[in-house]
Amino acid sequence: MRMKTFRAATSTAAFAKVKSELGDEAVILSNKTVTENGCKCCEIVAAVEGEPARPRRNTRDGVMDAALQDSVGWQREWSQIKGQIMALMKPQMDPSRLSPKQKIALEYLEREEVDERVLTHIYCTLRETPDCAVMTALDPLLKATPFKVGSWANKFHAFAGPGGAGKTSSLIRLALRIKKERPRTRLCLATADGGRGKGRLVLKHYAELGGLAFREIITRDDFALLHQESKQFDMVLIDLPGLSGATNLEEWSCLYGLNECRDLSVHLVLNPYYSRGQFERFVDKYKSEQLASVIWTKLDEACTFGAILNMAFASGLPVSALSYGPGLKNSILPASEEMVWRLLFMRTLPNGDIQP
Footprint on this chain of Mg ion (rule: CB under 5 A) = 167-168, 199
Verify binding: residue 318, ligand GDP, rule CB under 6 A: no
Verify binding: residue 261, ligand GDP, rule CB under 6 A: no
Among 23, 83, 242, 318, contact with ligand GDP (rule: CB under 6 A): 242
Verify binding: residue 285, ligand GDP, rule CB under 6 A: no
Verify binding: residue 298, ligand GDP, rule CB under 6 A: yes
Among 15, 152, 282, 324, contact with ligand GDP (rule: CB under 6 A): 324
* Sheet of strand 235-239: strand arrangement: 213-216, 187-191, 235-239, 156-160, 264-270, 291-296, 319-323, 332-334
Verify binding: residue 280, ligand GDP, rule CB under 6 A: no
Of the candidate spans 147-155, 174-182, 278-286, 323-331, the one that interacts with ligand GDP by CB under 6 A turns out to be: 323-331
Report the C-alpha gap between 33 and 193 in whole angstroms: 15
User: Least distance to ligand GDP from the beta carbon of 298, Å?
Assistant: 4
The vertex-287 CA angle with 283 and 292, nearest 5°, equals 100
Among 194, 195, 306, 325, contact with ligand GDP (rule: CB under 6 A): 325
What is the size of the binding site for ligand GDP (CB under 6 A)? Answer: 20
Of the candidate spans 144-152, 166-174, 207-215, 277-285, the one that interacts with ligand GDP by CB under 6 A turns out to be: 166-174
User: Least distance to ligand GDP from the beta carbon of 271, Å?
Assistant: 8
End-to-end Cα distance, the chain: 64
User: Least distance to ligand GDP from the beta carbon of 158, Å?
Assistant: 12
Report the C-alpha gap between 241 and 197 in whole angstroms: 10
Verify binding: residue 274, ligand GDP, rule CB under 6 A: no
User: Least distance to ligand GDP from the beta carbon of 323, Å?
Assistant: 4
* Nearest CB to Mg ion, comparing residues 67 and 201: 201
Verify binding: residue 55, ligand GDP, rule CB under 6 A: no
| Residues in contact with ligand GDP by the rule CB under 6 A | 161, 163-169, 199, 242, 269, 297-298, 300-301, 323-326, 331
